[in-house]
């Protein structure tokens, strides 16, 4: 369970920073990821990622909260990875989103490893 707590908090920090970035400095965010037509959507996704990150960061040792942090973390990473892998090749997103795709794939792999380790520990 300790591994899952560390993982939830690490991904929470990642999501918090990633969510706040365009809200705090849209100029630098767009310099890396390209100009955005629908800025309201950038702020909406940023706000959602900030909320997800805060919740993951504050997940406690309570098993129910930790399971929720895992489900939210896996779901968030899976959706962001899918969006990156669909829209970069289509030319809708800049190639730099592939850096995010790699990070999201890493979170999915880390959660899978944590899940396997937790299952092995209970045997």
The domain spans of the chain are 2-121
pLDDT band at 92 (very low <50, low <70, confident <90, very high): very high
For the segment 65-84, the average pLDDT, to the nearest whole number, is: 96
Whole-model pTM above 0.85? yes
Q: Kindly give the residue spans of alpha helices, DSSP state H, lying in the chain.
A: 2-24, 26-33, 39-57, 63-87, 97-121
């Amino acid at each position: 369970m300790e591994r899952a707590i560390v993982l939830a908090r690490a991904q929470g920090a990642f999501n918090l920073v990633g969510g706040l970035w365009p809200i705090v400095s849209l100029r630098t965010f767009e310099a890396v990821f390209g100009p955005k037509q629908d800025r309201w959507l950038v702020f909406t996704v940023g706000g959602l990622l900030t909320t997800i990150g805060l919740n993951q960061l504050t997940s406690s040792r309570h098993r129910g909260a930790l399971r929720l942090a895992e489900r939210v973390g896996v779901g968030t990473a899976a959706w962001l990875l899918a969006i990156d892998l669909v829209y970069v090749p289509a030319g809708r997103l800049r190639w730099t989103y592939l850096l995010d795709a790699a990070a999201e794939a890493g979170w999915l792999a880390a959660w899978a490893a944590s899940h396997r380790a937790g299952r092995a520990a209970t045997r």
